[in-house]
Chain A
Amino acid sequence: MQKYSIFTLARNAANYHKGWGLAWRSPEPKSEYDIVIIGAGGHGLATAYYLAKRHNLTNVAVVEKGWLGGGNTGRNTTIIRSNYLQDESAAIYELSRSLYEGLAQELNYNVMFSPRGLFMLCMTEHELRGFKRHAHANRLSGIESRMVSAEEVKRKIPILNVSPTARYPLLGALYQPRGGTARHDAVAWGYARGADNLGVDILQNCAVTGITRRGGKVTGIDTVKGHIKAKKVAIVTAGSTTLLGDMAGLKLPIESVTLQACVSEPIKPVLDVVIMAGTVHGYMSQSDKGELVIGGGADEYNNYSQRGSFPAIEHTITSLAELFPIIRRLKMLRQWAGIVDMTGDRSPIIGKTDVDGLYLNCGWGTGGFKSIPGSGLVFADTIANDRPHPIAEPFGLNRFAEGRLIDESIAAGVAH
């Protein structure tokens, strides 16, 4: 792998950057792999990377119907945090967040993880109580997270409207100092480059059309480029999970809906932290390029169109314009949507399925960008050893029959 650094950059500059090679190959599919991962989003790519890196499993393909990173990984609002309430969630998200801290170095690809601090605003007494509970739980699980006063929030976010006559007076915030954002595309590209370099084949433009089984065991996949044999197959396709599940006869507690986002035109820095406001359903950060990155709600109806309806984004902007009155004269530059996979309890599913050799990682819904490294790590371990990694174990499919739901909706409202 060509090393990336300021020195190689300078060396290549001399030659007008003609010396750079491919970040990843575009190989033809082999007829057989030990493991096939369906879906080259962040989760699929990270899984492949850790299979190769930590388990020495390199006869692996990641099969992608379009361009790698083109799913939700390439279209999310990039919020990273781990201040979740339930122990199971806190464990996996904090594992993930801590991996983000060293990810650029691990991958030798600057994913621009920016732990610039994240505020979840409390605007009702009820919300305040809920977040206090979060803070206590987080502290006892060893996650750096605490309540801060309205004054402290205002100091960090001067553009916030804290007028006592505001519709919802600010009562404080749950603050995670090392929550933040990362450059979403770079996470996919960094893992892709890392995995490719370790020998993983990334097969783009190769939609999976079938999952073949014999006697309750998986045998391979059909793709638009032909059949590929595999000993193990993992479905990591987010919004398309049901369609892949149907190919393997899985019954899944999943619905696909569109989640929306938009950006403003770029402006000079006005917001140096990430804010989330559950009461009014809005969240916002400012990217390094200067756009305000605004996350909206999901449309309620099942939707595979990757474009959303206007009311959801309107609702969010209306709220944010109230919290940050100065944005009224800024302009919306682009809006888009992704197809998110919502489970019955809004928590992910990671683990084995009833089909031997078939694994599932999905249900990250509106909040799985932050979990890419952690999920990849525990999922790779689960596949390699054919048993759930302890952190993944509570997220098995069986929880829905048992009623052992992992419900995070308690105070946050939004789950990003």
Chain B
Amino acid sequence: MLLIKCPICDCEGDETDFHYGGEGHIQRPTSSNPDKVGDEAQRDYLYVRKNPRGLHSERWLCERGCGKWFHALRDTATMVISKTYLITDKPPAELKKAGKK
């Protein structure tokens, strides 16, 4: 049972007080370029996921706190949550590093 802390309201609680929203930082192609999105780009957006074994950036909703979405960096093998940050923040550096490995 993960213990999660919201970076916005500091609410700390069980994973059941939060709601998981899947991989973070997925760009919705039609938001920026509605007319020129190929089938493959749309597929990648809808279905293709990094699904790494290790550091994963993901979205969580602070359901029993402030009701806001935020990002977390979690290791999918150890479950360690190393960082939480705002939903509007850019991907942190350690995520890029992990991706390169």
Direct contact of A and B (CB under 8 A): yes
Chain A contacts to B: CB under 8 angstroms: 240, 242-243, 251-256, 300-305, 309-311, 343-344, 400-402
B12 in contact (CB, < 8 A) = no
B51: chain A residues at CB < 8 Å are 242, 252, 254-256, 302
Residue with the greatest number of chain B CB neighbours at <10 A, chosen from A240, A301, A311: A301
Closest chain A CB from B71 CB (angstroms):
13
Bitwise interface map of B from 11 to 46 toward A, beta carbon under 8 Å scored 1, else 0: 000011001101100000000000000011011101
B16 & A304 in contact (Cβ 8 Å cutoff)? no
Chain B contacts to A: CB under 8 angstroms: 1-2, 15-16, 19-20, 22-23, 39-40, 42-44, 46-53, 56, 58, 74, 76-79
A400 & B1 in contact (Cβ 8 Å cutoff)? no
Cα distance, A401 to B48, chains bound together (Å):
10
A311 & B15 in contact (Cβ 8 Å cutoff)? yes
Q: Is the interface of A mostly helix, strand, loop or mixed?
A: mixed
A253: chain B residues at CB < 8 Å are 43, 46-49
A251: chain B residues at CB < 8 Å are 44, 48
B40 & A401 in contact (Cβ 8 Å cutoff)? yes
A304 & B43 in contact (Cβ 8 Å cutoff)? no
B49 & A303 in contact (Cβ 8 Å cutoff)? no
B58: chain A residues at CB < 8 Å are 301-302
Residue with the greatest number of chain A CB neighbours at <10 A, chosen from B2, B51, B52: B51
B76: chain A residues at CB < 8 Å are 256, 301-305
A303: chain B residues at CB < 8 Å are 76, 79
Which one of A255, A305, A310, A400 contacts B43 once the chains associate, using CB atoms below 8 Å?
Answer: A400
B53 & A243 in contact (Cβ 8 Å cutoff)? yes
B77 & A304 in contact (Cβ 8 Å cutoff)? yes
A305: chain B residues at CB < 8 Å are 76-79
Cα distance, A309 to B58, chains bound together (Å):
18
Known: A301-B58, A302-B58, A302-B76. A309 touches B1 (CB 8 A): yes
A309 & B52 in contact (Cβ 8 Å cutoff)? no
Which one of B1, B39, B50, B53 contacts A304 once the chains associate, using CB atoms below 8 Å?
Answer: B53
Cα distance, A400 to B49, chains bound together (Å):
13
Known pairs A309-B1, A311-B15, A401-B40 / 17 extra A-B pairs, C-beta < 8 Å = A242-B51, A242-B52, A242-B53, A243-B53, A255-B51, A300-B19, A301-B2, A302-B76, A303-B79, A304-B53, A304-B77, A305-B76, A309-B2, A309-B15, A343-B47, A400-B46, A400-B47
